Structure 1
Amino acid sequence: MVQRAENARERFEAAAFKLFGEQGYAATTVPDIAENAGLTERTFYRYFPDKREVLFWRATDHQISIRNEIASATCSRHPLAMVAHAFKSVAPFIDGHRPIVKLRQALISSHSDLQERELMKLHALASAIDLTLQQRGIRPSPARVIAEVGSAIWKVALENWRSDENEASFANHLDRVLAEFQTEFHLLV
Structure 2
Amino acid sequence: MRISKKKKAREILTILKQLYPNATCSLDYETPLQLLVATILSAQCTDERVNKVTPALFTRFPDAPSFAKADRQEIETLIHSTGFYRNKAKNIQNACLKIVNDFNGNVPQTMPELLTLAGVARKTANVVLAHGFGIIEGVTVDTHVKRLSNRLGLTKKDNPVQIEQDLMQLLPQPDWENFSISIIYHGRAVCNARKPLCNQCQLIHLCNHYTAQ
TM-score of the two chains, using structure 2 as the length reference: 0.29
More helix by percentage: 1
TM-score of the two chains, using structure 1 as the length reference: 0.31
